[in-house]
Amino acid sequence: MSDAPPVQPTSASAVVDADVVDACIVCGGAYRPSKLPGLFQCENCKFISADLSIPDEELSRLYGEDYFHGSEYLDYVAEADSLALNFRRRISVLEKLMPNLASAELFEIGCAYGYFLQEIAPKVRKASGIDISGDAIRRAIEDQRVDAVEGNYLDTDLGRQVDVITMWDTVEHLKRPDLFLEKTAHDLRTGGLVAVTTGDIGSLNARLQSKSWRMIHPPTHLHYFSVPTMKKLLEAKGFEVIYVAHPGNSRRLRSVLYFLTALKGNKRNIYEALKDYRLFNLNFTVNLFDIMYVVARKR
């Protein structure tokens, strides 16, 4: 299928000690308690993080089977159709920024069930990914038939440089996004792209909602970027930011029907009776302009 070497974990000696965080991961400044309860803010660059003393083992446990089946993702599988819509829009941005995307190799960090890999695979030369969740990776391989491995990206030697690395809604979950972006720069060829989506705590909606902003939930969300702090970190790691947008989130009406009948109402028969009506193919976009999509080029 592919001539590239498989992704292999490196030896333990090469593993970065990601457990120790005693200064701002963006600028090295000192963290002070934030005015948002339970969060900390860098006194220098204003970057906001959660309490980072949580042990790595505890973080890994958060992303077991329950994570993808629990309240946070509710039913990721039921959302597959809506997710595909959003992924297609993100891909069209990548196609504009990298006209030769069809001949590119792409790697995804935090590939979950593999829906993005499935969407992008026919549009690139090669697509593969990694996720910390073994349950998600099993589904990605068995159901989506994508090239994905279970593991920690930081401990994984790709054995090659790739053209595009994507991290969809992933950086906020990582204890050390700085180390991830550093390794991303190492794993990309010069001129290669890293594409990231995450909440924007500097957005109007986040500022209005303050501590009630829906993206604030430590410890699964450990870091709260704004456009300036994201740019600052990317530039510090050898990237030039070439694209910033706040795309909306599209949903198929069918997934709302599923949510209201099968999931919330426990009336799957109603869902089955209605789901084939073409009306439910309609999609709509909600945009609170508080999720940023940032693409940066390796210098």
Q: Tell the smallest beta-carbon distance from residue 201 to Zn ion (Å).
A: 13
For Zn ion, the binding residue among 4, 21, 27, 244 (CB under 5 A) is 27
Q: Tell the smallest beta-carbon distance from residue 104 to Zn ion (Å).
A: 33
Q: Tell the smallest beta-carbon distance from residue 285 to Zn ion (Å).
A: 34
Site string for Zn ion, 35-74 (x = CB under 5 A): -------x-xx-x---------------------------
Q: Which is nearer to Zn ion, 22 or 142 (CB)?
A: 22
Q: Tell the smallest beta-carbon distance from residue 34 to Zn ion (Å).
A: 12
Count of residues that interact with Zn ion, criterion CB under 5 A: 8
Rounded distance between C-alpha atoms, residue 215 and residue 132, angstroms: 21
For Zn ion, the binding residue among 9, 29, 218, 238 (CB under 5 A) is 29
Q: Which is nearer to Zn ion, 47 or 168 (CB)?
A: 47
Q: Tell the smallest beta-carbon distance from residue 32 to Zn ion (Å).
A: 11
Give residues in contact with Zn ion (CB under 5 A).
Answer: 24, 26-27, 29, 42, 44-45, 47
